[in-house]
Structure 1
Amino acid sequence: MKNYKNPSDSRVSITELMLPSHSNFGGKVHGGHILNLMDQIAFACASKHSQRYCVTASVNRVDFLSPVEVGELITLRASINYTGKTSMVVGVRVDSENITEGTKRHCNSSYFTMVAKDEEGKSVPVPGLILENEQAVRRFARSKQRKKEAFSRDTRFDESQFQMKEHLKRLIDENVKIDL
């Protein structure tokens, strides 16, 4: 296995027709179906980079920017944005295309943290990333910052460190009734 790889070595994309069986009660493609496809392509990308079986450790915020209609094509693109010791951040972008009108829309983007595993299910090292241009450096730096912010967010609200009085005043204008 190589020590470092280019993002282009593991970049993958898929295009799929959205069928009536993929729709929700509102007649649009179910968000859960799109999330399933996103997870699959993140797995494919991470596994291709690491040459290992990978599992999803976390998904960083998924915003559905526009609905996908039945009969549209969706294209999912994935690439490695960040590599740690055993984990990778896979950027996934979803675009839809109305094939009769020829119009395309960006539907959503998200970031999947994937961890490489060995045959016993233990985390194993992954190849590093070769950053060849400004966009690659920006993506790596952004992923590193997201990771740092997530850790800070998680520890700030940890039960052992939580200061209720500090947060009660922030809840005054919220749609909540405090009855302690």
Structure 2
Amino acid sequence: MSSSSEVRLLEMVFPHHTNHLGTLFGGQALAWMDKAAFIVASRHARRTVVTARSEEVSFRVPVRSGQLVELVAHVVGTGRSSMQVEVEMTAEDPLSGDRRVCTTGRFVMIALDSNGSPTAVPALPKPSAD
């Protein structure tokens, strides 16, 4: 994949990101995932983008205060003005190195022109035949 169709972010889970059980608020996880989707879609389109939809978000395992999360976002499809972005969030214990995929989701991002109207985005490059 080209560098403009993938992005990686790291976040540290601090106590203010968690609920009364000491696990990451779902809304915070969604915000970080949306941020990763926004960045990769902006880089792919080289345009202003907005979130049109989040879908198929699965919370698999809880993320605890003190863990790191790595978010990896990929543009996996394009329409005329839309981009489908898959985001995977992995939790890591910084002391043991144990890593687990904790949350996955798909976002639809729309590229906008200078008037705020949907505008065309580049297609994904075709995979090369090796």
Residue of structure 2 aligned with 1:28, choices 23, 32, 46: 23
Number of residue-to-residue matches in the alignment: 129
Aligned to 2:5: 10
Aligned to 2:38: 43
**Larger helix percent:** 1
Distance in 1 separating the partners of 2:3 and 2:74? 7
Q: Which has the higher contact order (CA 8 A, sep 6+)?
A: 2
Paired-residue identity, %: 37
RMSD over equivalenced CA pairs, Å: 1.4
1:107 and 1:133, CA in 2 relative to 1: closer, same or farther beyond 3 A? farther
Larger radius of gyration: 1
Residue of structure 2 aligned with 1:115, choices 99, 102, 110: 110
- Decide whether the 8 Å contact of 2:13 with 2:65 is kept in 1: yes
State how 1:43-122 maps to structure 2 within 5 Å.
Answer: 43-122=38-117
Distance in 1 separating the partners of 2:79 and 2:19? 37
**Larger strand percent:** 2
CA deviation vs aligned residue, 1:45-78 (integer Å, no higher than 9, x gap): 0000000010111111211000000000000001
What is the TM-score normalised by the length of structure 1? Answer: 0.69
Distance in 1 separating the partners of 2:81 and 2:39? 16
Point out where structure 1 has 5 or more consecutive residues left out of the alignment: 1-5, 135-180
What is the TM-score normalised by the length of structure 2? Answer: 0.94
State how 1:152-167 maps to structure 2 within 5 Å.
Answer: none
7-16 vs 109-118, which moves further: 7-16
Point out where structure 2 has 5 or more consecutive residues left out of the alignment: none
The runs of at least 4 aligned residues of structure 1 exceeding 6 Å deviation read: none
Distance in 2 separating the partners of 1:129 and 1:76? 21
1:131, distance to aligned residue in structure 2 (A): 2.8
Q: Give the partner amino acid of 2:40.
A: C
Q: Give the partner amino acid of 2:126.
A: L
